[in-house]
Amino acid sequence: MKVLVTGACGYIGSVLCSMLSEQGHKVFACDNNLHAPDPPNVVRRLRSSFEDDFIIHLVRVYDIDLIVHLAATSTVGPDSTDPLLYLSNNTAKTTIFLEKLKNAYWKGHFVFASTAAVYESCQEPLKEWFKVDPSSVYGYSKSLCEQVIGYANRYDIKTTTFRFFNVAGAYNGFGEEEGDTHLLSRICHSVANNEQLVVFGDDYPTRDGTCVRDYVHVGDVCAAIIWALEEEKQGTYNLGSERGTTVTEMIEQFTMHTGRAVNYTVGPRRPGDVPSLIADPSLFCRMSGFQYKYSIRDIINSSWEQY
């Protein structure tokens, strides 16, 4: 397969490029981070934004029939102070990208990276047909993208949307990196640099007062994406483990599996955070036969080894 990956130098993108290459696919990488190293074993790296006209030219010239759209502004928290950045980078640019593909008469398969943040956090585990009512601008921007992508089928563009829950871990030297804002990356950074970790709130209505999240290994997420590409299956699917872990429990499990204590303090809540997000991933598993490979222990150990 010839696959274009946007956001290819990012956390998930670098692992996906690595796994696609391992399986013999030809990978074209697009990322506007000029300083990021090239993803592994790509046919060509484009240091530009995914909605540039040159990307559409490349899609035509190389006859690319599969696109994985990972590029986004994704941190929850800053979206409350700069909401237009998220709506512009995520929603508007994705719309422009799809319009350019439509105008180029592209008829391929478009896989979109959405998020659990689109859900209204109420009843769990969350199923794909539950109400979409995001509490953060980031989640709202992604929910709008999902609506836009829904129209792509009218132009014979096949689409698959994956709602990622909390992607974590590392794979073959790719994945978690210094400076990432994910909880596990922040834990690793604090321990490696002997710094204090800040936990964003301990007064949520959960079993220990800290947020509950569904952590899924980046290797499992990328394997699911590749399956969707190879099988050309369409639809909207959760990618999670149906296993909720609080922030405090993740800290405790990190210490248990690595033997390293975490020095942390409790700070104020982070804007946009909801008490709990746990997936029901059974729809994708039933439809595909997909089985998750990695445990919480694997996630923690792979992240710590990366540091």
- Catalytic residue annotation: 138
Q: In the chain, what are the helix, strand and coil shares in percent, each to the nearest 5?
A: 40, 20, 40
The alpha-carbon radius of gyration of the chain (Å, integer) is: 19
Overall size of the chain counted in residues: 307
Contact 304, 238 (CB under 8 A): no
Q: Exposed, middle or buried, 213 (CB in 10 Å: 0-12/13-18/19+)?
A: buried
CA distances from 211 to 177, 203, 207 (A): 23, 9, 9
- In the 8-state DSSP scheme, what is residue 162? E
Q: What is d(CA 254, CA 182) in angstroms, rounded to the nearest whole number?
A: 14
Give residue 191's identity as a one-letter amino acid code.
V
Contact 21, 46 (CB under 8 A): no
Contact 47, 13 (CB under 8 A): no
Contact 67, 110 (CB under 8 A): yes
